[in-house]
Each structure stands twice: as structure tokens, then as C-alpha cells.
Structure 1
């Protein structure tokens, strides 16, 4: 089956951000997300999940283990298990990105301080 935002399972996080499950399996998760200007996720890490964030549009900021990374469209960053990170949108435009998690990160998220 061909999948897109139009027919994928949708959810809202952080009260205003969107997520669409493109692949939702225990061993692999692919989610397309939209973050409006000024939004961010909670800083966290995963025990098992390795993640890859790939920006489709806009400019995202990924804080990873205390270091800020600006990620523009068609660029990505891998986050290893155990590394604290936080995705945010510090720009004036929406950011859309894909996050691939292997295995699925749901249930493997630990809030990190700092």
C-alpha cells in the first residue's frame, strides 16, 4: 500500500505538533512530523532505539549531547541509543522532517535533564 500524510495514522504531540505514522512496526518506525515555529520536544534519550532525523523543509535545530546542530532541508543526523537529544524549531517557518527509529522508540523514551 502506498502511504502518505493523507492516509497515515495521525497524532498530535506537544499540543500543536503533528505526526504521521508512515511505518509503525515494533522493529522499525518511520514518522513524518511537523513542528511550527517556536516548538520543541522534551529533551530525552532512548536505551535501545537508534534514530535518524531527516529534514524535508525548513530549518530544524537538534541539540545532541549538549551540542546544537542546525539541519536544513535534505540533510539529516543520526542519534545513537543513550545520547540525550532535543529537536526544536527556532526558525520562523514550519519544519517538516522524517524520523526513523530502529527499533520503535515508543516506550523507550527516558526524559533527560539539562
Structure 2
């Protein structure tokens, strides 16, 4: 079956961010996410999941284990399990849209770092 943002399972995370499950299986998760201006996720790591973030639109700032990485459209970054990370949209005016692929699915695998 074809999948897109219109027919995918939608959820809201944080205060104003959106996610659409494009693939939601136990061994693989692919999510299209949108972060409005001046939003961020909570710093965390995954015990088992490896993740790959790929920016579609806007400029994302990814903090990975203390290092700041700026991702522009058509750029991506892979994060290994157990590596603390946090995504930010530091823009005052533009959304960030990106794809995040997790293998295996990261459901129940997220550990907050408390930083």
C-alpha cells in the first residue's frame, strides 16, 4: 500500500511537533517529522536502536554526544545505540522536516539523559 502524510498514523510530540509513521514494524521504524520554529526534543539515547536522520526541509541542529552538527536539506547523520542526542530547530521562522529511521524500532528503547 502507498503511504504518505495524509494516510499515515499521525502523532504530536513535545508541545507542537508532528510525526507520521511511514513504516511501523518491530524491526524498523521510518517516521516523517516536523518541528516548528524554536522547538527541540528532550536529550536522550537508545539502548538498542540505531537511528538515521535525513533533513528534507529547513535547517536542523543535532547535538550528538556534546558535538553540534548542522544538517541542511538533503543531508543526514547516523547515530549509534547508547549515544546521547537531541534535535533542535533553532530557526525563528521556518519549520524543519526530516525522516528518522530507527532499526530496530525504538519504541520503549528511549532513555532520558536528564541533561
Query: Shorter-chain-normalised TM-score: which range?
Result: over 0.9
Matched, 1:64 2:64: yes
1:113 CA displacement: 3.2
In structure 2, C-alpha distance between the alignment counterparts of 1:95 and 1:65, rounded to whole Å: 21
Q: Which residue of 2 aligns with 1:35?
A: 35
Gaps of 5+ in 2: none
Q: How does 1:1-114 map to 2 (within 5 A)?
A: 1-92=1-92, 93-114=94-115
Residues 54-106 of structure 1 show CA distances to partners (whole Å, capped at 9, x for unaligned) of 00000000000001000000000000000000001001310000000000111
In structure 1, C-alpha distance between the alignment counterparts of 2:89 and 2:11, rounded to whole Å: 19
**SS at the partner of 2:40?**
coil
C-alpha RMSD of the superposition: 0.6
In structure 1, C-alpha distance between the alignment counterparts of 2:38 and 2:64, rounded to whole Å: 18
Residues 3-60 of structure 1 show CA distances to partners (whole Å, capped at 9, x for unaligned) of 0001000000012100000000000000000000110000000010000000000000
In structure 2, C-alpha distance between the alignment counterparts of 1:15 and 1:62, rounded to whole Å: 19
Gaps of 5+ in 1: none
- Please report the TM-score for the alignment, with normalisation by the length of structure 1: 0.98
Moved over 4 A (4+): none
What count of residue pairs does the alignment treat as equivalent? 114
